[in-house]
A and B are shown apart, each in its own frame.
Chain A
């Protein structure tokens, strides 16, 4: 399954529907999610393309730390 294509397909549906129901602000939010998916897919492709184990280790460690720190902030924002 190609998640990036699915994201694009979802956005196409959203774009088609938004004028009909006057939901431009919600379309913007949906577009931000699709951008997020694109960025995430790019991150994964970059990781999978690393040949050196040391490079891969560093990249994954850095990514996990960043996401873990962010998860704590998002969780705190919901309490």
Chain B
């Protein structure tokens, strides 16, 4: 077990999922972005920027997952590996659905699904969920 790297990767992963990103309008991947009360155009621009921010953070989280896989912490084909794979697919589907959402309610709901899936990944890696 590569405990040192495992601990570091977990800390990085938790930051990516839970922490706000510098200069971002969202409150972190785990929460949907706030809906502003401004004009529709402003709302859509804010939403678009938030989707970009979430996608960038998802990209970083995928880096962490790949490092954990390469370090042998996540074993392909194992129950945990398969669970993480399914959750990544769920998060991916929600991200794309949020990007294509035509209402703010759907947009927020899809980002909620995305955040929930990524939290589950984090918990699986930390061993809180089997």
Give residues in A with beta carbon < 8 Å to B: 1-4, 6-7, 10, 14, 17-18, 21, 23, 26, 29-30, 32-34, 36-37, 39-41, 43-45, 47-48, 53, 56-57, 59-61, 63-64, 66-68, 70-72, 74-79
How many of chain B's residues have a CB under 8 angstroms from any CB in A? 52
| B23 with A60: CB separation less than 8 A | no
| A29 with B9: CB separation less than 8 A | yes
Q: Which residues of B contact A34 (CB under 8 A)?
A: 12
| A14 with B8: CB separation less than 8 A | yes
Of residues A2, A10, A70, A74, which shows the largest number of chain B Cβ atoms within 10 Å of its Cβ?
A74
Minimum CB–CB distance from B61 to chain A (whole Å) comes to 9
| B76 with A43: CB separation less than 8 A | no
Write the chain A residue with the least CB distance to B5: A26
